[in-house]
Amino acid sequence: MKTALYIFVALTLTNCMDPELAGLHSTPGANPPPQQPAPAEQPPPPAADPADAPATAPATAKTPVFGSAKPIPGALKGDIYYLPTNTSKLPDFSTLTSVGSVYTRSLNIPARNFKEGFPGVTNRFEWFALRYTGKFTVTAAGTYSFRLMSDDGSKLYIDGRLVIDNDGVHAPSDASGSVNLTAGSHTIVVEYFQGPAVEIALQLFVTPPGGTESIWQAR
């Protein structure tokens, strides 16, 4: 049943029934006029009230986004939640119902004005949260250091253990933590929320044993 629910939610998301969500997960272009073929990676616009369509600005391929609506094998799955205005810290996700999901192999949204990070979003550029879950494999056992930069709050869990607590409403800032990993598969959870405008950011870095820091990649 849960799978069916996710499929339903994903389909709803893909169909852009909610203009707020449309801006959250992808880089939609302007709403194409009727009779024109839709861009390759976008479904045709639903036959809905034109007032439902997001008022979008052109997005570039380089625009960082929180993920794609299309499932990506091996990627992080980010469940999206809406938060009450004036939320000051990460919510208890177990009490909330996701409004959709996005998929991404990395978290790499450098600090920016929300207008840069959210082309097309009209009225949901604040008060939302994402909870990313996934698995990753390491080949070398040892101490892995992670750094989580965000605006606003975020937390990192590895194998169910809190590694980084960067929670709260704050300007772009980072926090670090390290964990000893055995070779093999591990679980990862990144919780994030955007409180008030005007900035937004979410980046996860990793430094492997004896290595240098880079953006964490799902693999």
Taking the least distance from each CB to Ca ion, the nearer of 65 and 69 is: 65
Compute the least distance from the CB of residue 80 to Ca ion, in Å: 16
Helix (H, G, I), strand (E, B) or coil at 5: helix
Pick out residues in 125-144 that bind Ca ion (CB under 5 A): none
Residue range at the interface with Ca ion (CB under 5 A); choices 10-18, 135-143, 151-159, 184-192: 151-159
Q: How far is the CB of 82 from Ca ion (least distance, A)?
A: 15
Q: Is 167 in the site for Ca ion (CB under 5 A)?
A: no
- Name the one range near Ca ion by CB under 5 A: 25-33, 65-73, 147-155, 202-210: 147-155
Task: Supply the minimum distance, in Å, between the C-beta of residue 49 and Ca ion.
Answer: 31
Cβ-contact 13, 101 below 8 angstroms: yes
Is the CA virtual torsion 63, 57, 192, 79 positive or negative? negative
Place of tokens 């996005």: 102
For Ca ion, the binding residue among 20, 79, 151, 167 (CB under 5 A) is 151
Of 149, 58, 64, nearest in space to 105 by CA:
64
Phi/psi for 166 (5° steps) reads -120, 40
Q: Taking Cα atoms as reference points, which of 112, 104, 154, 108 lies closest to residue 129?
A: 154
Provide the minimum distance between the beta carbon of 112 and Ca ion in the complex, in angstroms, as a whole number.
10
Sign of the alpha-carbon dihedral angle for 54, 65, 127, 5: positive
DSSP secondary structure of 106-151: --EEEEEEHHHH-TT-SS-SSSEEEEEEEEEEESS-EEEEEEEEEE
In angstroms, what is the minimal distance from the CB of 195 to Ca ion? 5
* Binding test (CB under 5 A) with Ca ion, winner from 20, 152, 167, 191: 152
* CB-nearer residue toward Ca ion: 151 or 191: 151
DSSP state of 93: G
What number of chain residues touch Ca ion (CB under 5 A)? 2
Question: Which stretch in 18-26, 61-69, 152-160, 202-210 sits in contact with Ca ion by CB under 5 A?
Answer: 152-160
Q: Which residues bind Ca ion (CB under 5 A)?
A: 151-152
